[in-house]
Structure 1
Amino acid sequence: MKIVRGLRNLTEKIKSPVVALGNFDGVHVGHQEIFKVACKRASEIDGTPVVYTFDPHPLKILAPEQNLTLLTTFKKKMELISVCGIETTVCADFTRNFAKIHPRDFALKLKESFDMDSIVIGHDYSFGKGKVGGVDYLKKMGDELGFSVYVVNAVMVDGKRVSSTLVRSLVGDGHVKQVQKLLNRYYSIAGKVVSGYQRGKAIGFPTANLETPYELIPEVGVYAAMARIGGASDYCKGVVNVGYNPTFNRDDFIVEIHMLDLDHDIYGQEIEIFFVDRLRNEVAFSSVETLRQQIEKDVETAKGVLSGIVEVENMPAGR
């Protein structure tokens, strides 16, 4: 997938673009449905499925007091969008000045830049200054400027409307098993393996400590997980501890994983951790030996949970 930073850098004409508009944080099943519609329309007209998105997230600029935690880094979001069949993503630099653009000017700029066949949006999409531009306004502009507007209905899972807000809430509360249905994949974070205190190794369960740029980490606790090291296609099974190591009276936050089928050091390497299920809360044990015994139980429980895992990233291909 080609990634273009800003319309000003869109120097090559795209063939019959079908443009999906949105932030797409998390690339959940609702977003995937939007991409599916865009890819289908592009296929019908021998065109190109395109995403037009924003970075940073608008709320980071307009409402920093909300302390929005994103589900994906920019890199991961681009990776997931690509898997969905999108051929080009244009990312606007979102600023306060950008937020002041009138909806009409926004639509005119899109038409001027893309000369798109059509636009695909979610049912609740809004745009322009004060978010006063909505579905009806965009359709009106489409009639005037010569593009179609496809509106994708909300996607429901277990009776709830899928949204990035819902996914953030579930991840933040540690409900990672439920999240898999909303993402078509297990929620993951990635980062570099860094040196830790070697306590796990001392009690027979060496761990890899993760230094990650991801903003949203699942609730403190112990999880069964799969991990991918570097660009490998294979996955390792593991037990992840998210928390503060209270048994050792530490107050620094850590994410560490004990690999069940790995026997060599991976310091300095990039790994991605996929959270499969929550096993238990983090507990301050009365002794290191009690902790060791509990980790033994965690490992056995994790083996059972992970034994049936076939698809870690079951993302749909758009074309």
Structure 2
Amino acid sequence: MKVIRIDPFIKVTNFQDHVMAIGFFDGIHLGHQQLLRHAKNIAEQQNLLFTAMTFDPHPDEVINNEKARNYLTPLSEKIDKMEKMGVDALFVIHFDRTFASLSPADYIQNYILELNTRHVVVGFDFRFGHKAQGNTQVLAQAAKQSDFGLSVIPKKMYDNKKISSTLIRECIQAGRVEVIPFYLGANYQIKAVISNTHTIGIFQLDPIENFIFPKEGSYNILLMVDARSIPAVLQCDRGKWMLMVRERITNHQQTVTIEFLSQAMVKKTMTM
């Protein structure tokens, strides 16, 4: 997959005709997956490239001055998941105040038409342009006038709730990691580094990148390390994460994947 970064000083010209899915796609949850699969199917039917467009950082960091925002999928993870979804090229738009000030018409001209987009796929609640003035109705009118296709994907529900990145964030922050597969389609995962050995079988864990972490407590997890999936317990107390594992880990200071399964009942607190 080709990753194409675009900012106000970089323009992409003569790009091959393509079908483009647009969204922030934090988590790439089941609703996002439905949207991306729809775009991929159209691209295959029309023998076009399958592309996606996302934004970095999150608009709230710029518009609402929200600093140090955490993500379900930081950009590097999002890129990896997009590639696994079969995306041929990913446009990453640098979201700054210049981009945020674009009118809906300028956004359509600069980031849809000039990229030779033949079909656009967005979610039902997609907003764009200055102060989110653009919506799917504005996009539909432009599609009719400029002769590009448009698909608007309806919301995806589970248990009478709309699947959304916000809902998933709230569940994780409340420690309800066991419900996440119903929304993500998989257990929630983060990347971290095993940094110190405190005692036999107990390690300190340092998160890498800006992942969302569950609230303080103990969690049953799978530790992906050394090509193995090892059952373990992860405990957070006063902002420190400690890993309790019965199998031997020989290579410290390595990046590992933590897959959250459920909250755990741990009677004795690990020494921090």
Compute the TM-score of the two structures, normalised by the length of structure 1: 0.79
Gaps of 5+ in 2: none
Distance in 1 (CA, whole Å) between partners of 2:150 and 2:144 is 9
Amino acid at match of 1:5: R
1:72 aligned partner: 73
Contact 1:208-1:256 at 8 Å conserved across structures? yes
Query: Shift of residue 112 of structure 1?
Result: 3.7
Distance in 2 (CA, whole Å) between partners of 1:92 and 1:206 is 41
Deviations 1:254-279 (A, max 9, x none): 1222234x313331111010101111
Query: Shift of residue 109 of structure 1?
Result: 1.1
Contact 1:229-1:271 at 8 Å conserved across structures? yes
Out of 208, 220, 225, the position equivalent to 2:216 is 220
Out of 9, 12, 15, the position equivalent to 1:13 is 15
- In structure 2, the residue corresponding to 1:124 is in which secondary structure? coil
Contact 1:208-1:266 at 8 Å conserved across structures? no
Bigger CA drift: 262-271 or 172-181?
262-271
Amino acid at match of 1:210: D
Distance in 2 (CA, whole Å) between partners of 1:171 and 1:118 is 35
2:203 aligned partner: 207
Q: Tell me whether 1:277 sits opposite 2:271 in the alignment.
A: no
Deviations 1:157-202 (A, max 9, x none): 1111001110100000011010111111111111222125x1xx2x
Contact 2:49-2:88 at 8 Å conserved across structures? yes
Structure possessing the higher radius of gyration over alpha carbons: 1
Amino acid at match of 2:230: C
Out of 245, 251, 256, the position equivalent to 1:266 is 251
Query: Shift of residue 206 of structure 1?
Result: 2.3
2:142 aligned partner: 141
Distance in 2 (CA, whole Å) between partners of 1:162 and 1:117 is 28
Contact 1:30-1:154 at 8 Å conserved across structures? yes
Q: 1:40 to 1:121 in 2, by over 3 A?
A: same
Contact 2:233-2:264 at 8 Å conserved across structures? no
Contact 1:227-1:274 at 8 Å conserved across structures? yes
Distance in 2 (CA, whole Å) between partners of 1:9 and 1:239 is 48
Q: 1:12 to 1:2 in 2, by over 3 A?
A: farther
Number of residue equivalences: 268
Q: 1:216 to 1:291 in 2, by over 3 A?
A: closer
Contact 1:208-1:267 at 8 Å conserved across structures? no
Deviations 1:91-139 (A, max 9, x none): 0110011100000111011234321110000000000011010001001
Distance in 1 (CA, whole Å) between partners of 2:6 and 2:111 is 11
Q: 1:110 to 1:65 in 2, by over 3 A?
A: closer
Alignment of structure 1 residues 58-207 onto 2, 5 Å: 58-65=59-66, 68-195=69-196, 198=198, 201=199, 204-207=200-203
Compute the TM-score of the two structures, normalised by the length of structure 2: 0.92
Query: Shift of residue 83 of structure 1?
Result: 1.4
1:312 aligned partner: none
- In structure 2, the residue corresponding to 1:23 is in which secondary structure? coil
Q: Tell me whether 1:238 sits opposite 2:232 in the alignment.
A: yes
- In structure 2, the residue corresponding to 1:104 is in which secondary structure? helix
Give the share of equivalent positions with the same residue, in percent.
24
1:248 aligned partner: none
- In structure 1, the residue corresponding to 2:231 is in which secondary structure? strand
2:42 aligned partner: 41
- In structure 2, the residue corresponding to 1:207 is in which secondary structure? strand
Name the structure where helix makes up a greater proportion of residues. 1
Amino acid at match of 2:189: S
Query: Shift of residue 24 of structure 1?
Result: 0.6
Distance in 1 (CA, whole Å) between partners of 2:40 and 2:220 is 35
Name the structure where strand makes up a greater proportion of residues. 2
- In structure 1, the residue corresponding to 2:264 is in which secondary structure? strand
Distance in 1 (CA, whole Å) between partners of 2:269 and 2:169 is 30
Amino acid at match of 1:241: Q
Alignment of structure 1 residues 295-310 onto 2, 5 Å: none
